[in-house]
Structure 1
Amino acid sequence: MTNSMPYSRHDVSFTSGDASCSAWLYLPEGVTSPPVVILGHGLGATREMRLDAFAERFAAAGIAAFAFTYRHFGDSGGQPRQLLSIKRQLADWDAAIAHIKGRDDVDGGRVAVWGSSFGGGHAITVAARHPELLAAVSQCPFTDGLASARALGPRASLKLLPFVARDLAARARGADPVTLPLAGPPGSIALMNAPDALPGYEALIPPGASFVNAAAARVVPTITAYRPGRAAKKVEMPILFCVSNHDTVTPPEQTLRYARTAPYGEIKTYEAGHFAFYLGEPFEQLVADQVEFLTRHLDAR
């Protein structure tokens, strides 16, 4: 990448609720008190799954980047493992923002949030709750649980219910969660079973790294009821929506309807699938657009 500046990466942890979240802080060298963008991933994913690629580009442009992993996943704390709680994940975002505001090596007054997929929905919710932020990026965002359930299909959705019942019973007994695959092949029982879902997840895992393809089944009803796109109209700062025209997981038609309600929204669409955003030419196009947007609104130098 031309005209980029060097940066350093630091292992960081911060407290959220009853546990801690692990994170990477990317600091551009030679920049005093840089602005910062906080990055959170999608459904059950961890920061190792290509958040580093985006963070590196932001840091090379003079913007500090803080990529974290939600509690209950990866190397972050939290018991039980693989618990996907929307309430807890949003609390993790709040804790990440508080942590950044308390640091003396970044400018806590120039902060943006960046989320992808399920995290893209969270980014909308978080931006609506934190008017002090200067910008937000919502990439291939999950915006409407009902729309995503329809994309999965009624028959596939019904097949999840026995697992939900067993997991709720396990929670009542204090037993380990009953889990569902996050992604599976077409026709399989999984939270996502579009043709590109499982290979898409697998393509994001670095060589030699491990990834637990599972989440506690109790999350299914809350995912269906979660409609973060409705908060777009309450986002008081510039927000960039990066939307896949061929999204098999988060239907673009509904996402675009919500995006158009954001008072200061900017929308860019891409001829790439939901899982193609992280690699190759789609990634290059996306990250260039995002660097331009963040540089403009964070007044990065």
Structure 2
Amino acid sequence: MSHAARGKPSRYAFSTRRVEFDGRQGHLFTPDRPADAPIVVLAPGAGLPWRATLEPTVERLAARGYAAFAFDHRGFGHVDGDHLLSPSRQRADLDAAVEAARDAPEVDGDRLALWGLDLSAGTALAAAADAVAVDAVIARFPVLAGARLLPSWVRPRLRGLGRGVADYPVSALGRLRGVDADERGLRVPLFGESDEVAAIAADGATRAVRDVLGREPGTAPARSLVKLQRHDVREAVEGLTCPALFVAGEHDEFAPPEPVVAATDDVRNASLVRVPASHYGALDGAELERTLNYELAFLDAEL
């Protein structure tokens, strides 16, 4: 099916190339015009590779005249395969991606914005608060506290956290024995329902992610739950000074709109938009177009 028939931007409007950086891999989308386009660095949502989730967004940014740099966090996509959900590791990945994007000769690295989805949106906000050279940040359906992603039912959450604590010594022993990263230690489903033991749990999560990926999402190291339980960037985000757009989904089962709205109250230069979208429904189609209209208008104003 042609790009036009699918409602996608024409590939003639931009070029792409793979970028290796610090042992990681990213993809740079560069528009044909302007020649010195501002750059948007995009991080995928928790537990997902960039291509399955961000490609329509990245293509539309490039067609609009923005360079876009998308990458996979370590452990996902083509980078390793352990599926460890580690916010600190993902922050290091984002910092490295920003440096790689800023150094690309095709773009204007002095005009740079960050973009993130759910857990990566919180990471992007915290990174922008720490950096003086970030001009704007978009947080689509942000998750600022990792515990938000854990099972909401007490028993599966406690069982998962207990399994996560036990995973540390078991995983270390597996590493000493040379067990592959994606097989060592104790593992739990990467996605599950709110009453199940899983690293990321919400009602309808299993089916929604399966539809996005076209396959089962697999498993994650159980210690991911411990790392998520400890993760909280709300205080860091309060120090954000660059313009920020918070996007809340009215039908979002992972990042309900109420905490997103509350977070904007503590950020000095924040804008808020609420869209009638679900968490993964806004990755493509009509929900994406509606959401992107707001995000593109924000970028046009700030970059």
TM-score by length of 2: 0.88
1:63 maps to which residue?
Answer: 66
For the aligned residue pairs, the C-alpha RMSD in angstroms reads 2.2
Counterpart CA distance in 2 for 1:89 and 1:143 is: 14
Counterpart CA distance in 2 for 1:241 and 1:148 is: 18
1:128–1:234: 8 Å Cα contact kept in structure 2? Answer: yes
1:177 maps to which residue?
Answer: 185
Superimposed CA distance per residue, residues 53-101 of structure 1 (whole angstroms, 9 cap, x where no aligned partner): 1000000000000000011221024xx7222221111011111111122
Deviation (angstroms), 1:112: 0.4
Counterpart CA distance in 2 for 1:146 and 1:193 is: 10
Give the % identical residues: 28
Q: Does 1:42 align with 2:42?
A: no
3-state SS in 2 of match to 1:50 = helix
1:152 maps to which residue?
Answer: 152
Instruction: Go from structure 1 to structure 2 and tell me whether the alpha carbon gap of 1:105 and 1:44 turns closer, same or farther (over 3 Å shift).
Output: same
Letter in 2 for 1:250: A
Counterpart CA distance in 2 for 1:71 and 1:172 is: 18
Instruction: Go from structure 1 to structure 2 and tell me whether the alpha carbon gap of 1:155 and 1:246 turns closer, same or farther (over 3 Å shift).
Output: farther
* Aligned partner (choices 217, 220, 226) of residue 222 of structure 2: 217
User: Structure 1 unaligned runs (5+)?
Assistant: none
2:165–2:226: 8 Å Cα contact kept in structure 1? Answer: no
Counterpart CA distance in 2 for 1:125 and 1:63 is: 23
1:245–1:269: 8 Å Cα contact kept in structure 2? Answer: yes
Letter in 2 for 1:60: A
User: Structure 2 unaligned runs (5+)?
Assistant: 1-6, 176-183
3-state SS in 2 of match to 1:108 = strand
2:97 maps to which residue?
Answer: 96
Q: Which runs of 4+ in 1 moved over 4 A?
A: 1-5, 146-149
Deviation (angstroms), 1:3: 9.8
Structure 1 window deviating more from structure 2 (43-52 vs 190-199): it is 190-199
Report the number of matched residues.
288
1:117–1:140: 8 Å Cα contact kept in structure 2? Answer: yes
Q: Does 1:198 align with 2:199?
A: no
Q: How does 1:251-270 map to 2 (within 5 A)?
A: 251-270=256-275
Instruction: Go from structure 1 to structure 2 and tell me whether the alpha carbon gap of 1:178 and 1:284 turns closer, same or farther (over 3 Å shift).
Output: same
Counterpart CA distance in 1 for 2:262 and 2:91 is: 23
Superimposed CA distance per residue, residues 151-180 of structure 1 (whole angstroms, 9 cap, x where no aligned partner): 622122112034213311213314413222
TM-score by length of 1: 0.88
Counterpart CA distance in 1 for 2:302 and 2:262 is: 24
Q: How does 1:156-171 map to 2 (within 5 A)?
A: 156-171=156-171
Instruction: Go from structure 1 to structure 2 and tell me whether the alpha carbon gap of 1:85 and 1:194 turns closer, same or farther (over 3 Å shift).
Output: closer
Deviation (angstroms), 1:186: 5.3
Letter in 2 for 1:27: T
Deviation (angstroms), 1:2: 10
Q: How does 1:83-162 map to 2 (within 5 A)?
A: 83-149=84-150, 152-162=152-162
3-state SS in 1 of match to 2:27 = strand
Counterpart CA distance in 1 for 2:52 and 2:143 is: 18
Counterpart CA distance in 2 for 1:263 and 1:87 is: 25
Counterpart CA distance in 2 for 1:269 and 1:30 is: 31
Q: How does 1:275-294 map to 2 (within 5 A)?
A: 275-294=280-299
Structure 1 window deviating more from structure 2 (216-225 vs 55-64): it is 216-225
3-state SS in 2 of match to 1:73 = coil
1:32 maps to which residue?
Answer: 35
